[in-house]
Chain A
């Protein structure tokens, strides 16, 4: 039990970028644009965040400017995906693949231009951990949520609530979802599908950029080609496992975070000792494969996701 208590804060650190990026994917896919570029956008966000943080450091706010830079860079980068897939009716999977390819090349290229090496210079602290004095004493929840926590973890949890509110309770959320279910019907009600899809993709870019920033500033000492190492694809898995629903995403994200933390602590847990660490890394993907098969036949995802918007179709 004590191991589980020490694992929880680690799990939360791992879960944070997965959650934020998966919520980003939710906005894009709910608007009808499949976004497999989450990984690439995270890389761009992580690179921007690490670079700005390094340049501004000793300043205590350097990490926060880094986060802003990550959000801005992610948004700008996702504009490419939005332009290609909404305006030019590109195949959204090919366009996303292109962005993933581009991100690796572009960020490391810029590292060589700015820092003369294959990675950014290492930052000193990145983002500092914070505590809330009173609440940290609460058993269980206190140490996990309020003692020595990265502020990005709070952001992730708040974003879950915010996303639920926007999607379920606001006209904007309803319109966004309509564009992902039946864009022609949405258009007939006066909703501007093209604009909504742009907004959906750009929000996903902002959040994936934030996720990349959170990841590099809390789990790494610099940005390199392997900083994001597939987390964008875990986020995609998380989105599907969470059935495109903010609270489902929260559950899946925490579970995936826990399974990554378990790979570190497995050697101390008698039952898990024999399990090779690679199996813990594999777990999110295996579970998603199972989930995909179990959910199949039931319509859980946005119906029109992946189809370019053609106003003439009925």
Chain B
């Protein structure tokens, strides 16, 4: 059974990369260059030139951090049977709160950054709890609701950057004080000037909390029960409505934290956005490939982080960087076809031996 659980994501990844390589071949680009770029982004080793640069490893980690968190966000809701397309908006709500606390609150170094992270989690949690409440109370479908909430958050962010935080150029706010930031010179120096920051600490803590809550607590068991069978959970006396709101709120907190990690870690100022940056959709891919488990989300976060980090390297070699998006989308599409593929696999299995599924 465990093997079968791993088989589908493995097949999906294989299919995605094979398709990506085929697209490159058909359009006259070298798949080898793509694989070299991916190797370099993970290990820092440039095979063609025989050089090593640790900056690439740092950037790889930087790319992986926020999508692990949005992956946890989407995965947490999935476990309760909810589809959270709203991680993007919850992330933006988190960024707005992080920017506000970073600019307006004055506190000693360690405490200030903690306040920033907590505020971002609270804002993301509220942004997630709203569709959760409407789902529980009025049975409004969370997919449509969270899509709408994403755009509301986007325009709210752009309004806040200009009107609330008084951005001079209407693009970015004043720089944050050092006390509010996850940025660290030491980490940057360690990785040859990459944007590596302390963001990995809250990311790892989040992965552990996710694992613990989902797998080891009665509360997590209740959430999963609602995901398996809503009516059954209701009959067993669980508070289904409360669980739905709680699940969306916690999902929102993970995404909100991602907003803080980007805003005060990768960057050092609040930003107006011309459109969604896609972290929420990356999170859907991460959660699907990671089978909504903490360890799975960790590894698939690394996989998609690698793809994102390799993009600039590919572009430099004349390989259009969008091949990474094509590979990611194909992997998601393949996993979407799960039911059909399971059926085909079962048929193949039955053809080979007498033992059933």
Contacts and interface: CB of A to CB of B under 8 A. Distances in A.
B211 interface: no
B338 interface: yes
B322 to A, nearest CB: 4
Contacts of B152: 282, 285-286, 289
Contact of A98 (B141, B149, B151, B329): B329
A97 B332 contact: yes
Given A279-B159, A285-B151, A94 B325 contact: no
B322 A289 contact: no
Contacts of A80: 333
Given A88-B341, A240-B144, A281-B155, A102 B336 contact: no
Q: Please indicate which of the listed interface residues A80, A106, A279 has the most CB atoms of chain B within 10 Å of its own CB.
A: A106
Contacts of A236: 144, 147
Interface stretch (A15-23, A122-130, A168-176, A226-234): A226-234
A87 B332 contact: no
Interface in A93-151: 93-95, 97-102, 104-106, 108-109, 112-113
A84 B333 contact: yes
A101 B159 contact: no
A105 B320 CA distance: 9
Contacts of A237: 148
Given A80-B333, A102-B333, A113 B320 contact: yes
Interface residues of B, number: 49
B253 interface: no
Q: Please indicate which of the listed interface residues B141, B144, B328, B336 has the most CB atoms of chain A within 10 Å of its own CB.
A: B336
B158 interface: yes
Interface stretch (A2-10, A64-72, A155-163, A292-300): A292-300
B284 A296 contact: no
Nearest to B131: A289
Contact of A102 (B134, B158, B320, B325): B325
Contacts of A289: 145, 148-149, 152
Nearest to B160: A278
Contacts of B158: 278
Contact of A109 (B156, B326, B335, B340): B326
27 contacts: A88-B339, A88-B340, A89-B339, A90-B339, A93-B83, A94-B288, A94-B332, A95-B333, A97-B284, A98-B332, A101-B325, A101-B328, A105-B323, A105-B325, A109-B23, A109-B27, A109-B320, A109-B323, A113-B320, A230-B275, A233-B147, A276-B162, A278-B155, A279-B155, A282-B152, A285-B149, A292-B144
Interface of B: 23, 27, 83, 85, 134, 138-141, 143-145, 147-149, 151-152, 155-156, 158-159, 162-163, 274-276, 278, 281, 284-285, 288, 320, 322-326, 328-330, 332-333, 335-341
